[in-house]
């Protein structure tokens, strides 16, 4: 029987700019800053998926 990889975490957010550090403290990964495109983005390290909450307008601030 093959082992299945863990299911990536799905995080609902209210902003288009997010950060991810793997959530494991010293067992996590380097903090990365990500910008949602089309309402979502996936962390390149841990595959966590950040999704814009329903009803939140996708606006970009600088």
For residue 12, the model assigns a pLDDT of: 97
Q: What would the pLDDT profile of 33-44 be if each residue is shown by its tens digit?
A: 999 999 999 999
Domains held by the chain: number: 1
CATH code of the domain covering residue 28: 2.60.260.40
Tokens 């939140």 -> residue: 56
Residue 62, pLDDT > 70, answer no
Q: What would the pLDDT profile of 14-61 be if each residue is shown by its tens digit?
A: 999 999 999 878 889 999 999 999 999 999 999 999 999 988 777 766
For residue 33, the model assigns a pLDDT of: 98
Q: Is 3 helix (H, G, I), strand (E, B) or coil?
A: coil
For residue 8, the model assigns a pLDDT of: 85
Please give the sequence-ordered ranges of beta strands (E in DSSP) within the chain, or none if there are none.
10-13, 17-20, 32-35, 40-42, 49-52
Q: What angle do CA 55, 36, 59 make, to 5 degrees?
A: 55
> Could you list the residue range(s) of the whole structural domain that residue 46 is in?
1-62
């Amino acid at each position: 029987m093959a082992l299945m990889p863990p299911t990536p975490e799905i995080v609902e957010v209210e902003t288009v700019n997010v950060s991810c550090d793997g959530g494991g403290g010293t067992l996590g990964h380097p903090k990365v800053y990500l910008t949602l495109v089309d309402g979502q983005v996936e962390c390149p390290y841990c595959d966590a998926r950040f999704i814009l909450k329903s009803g939140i307008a996708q606006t970009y601030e600088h």
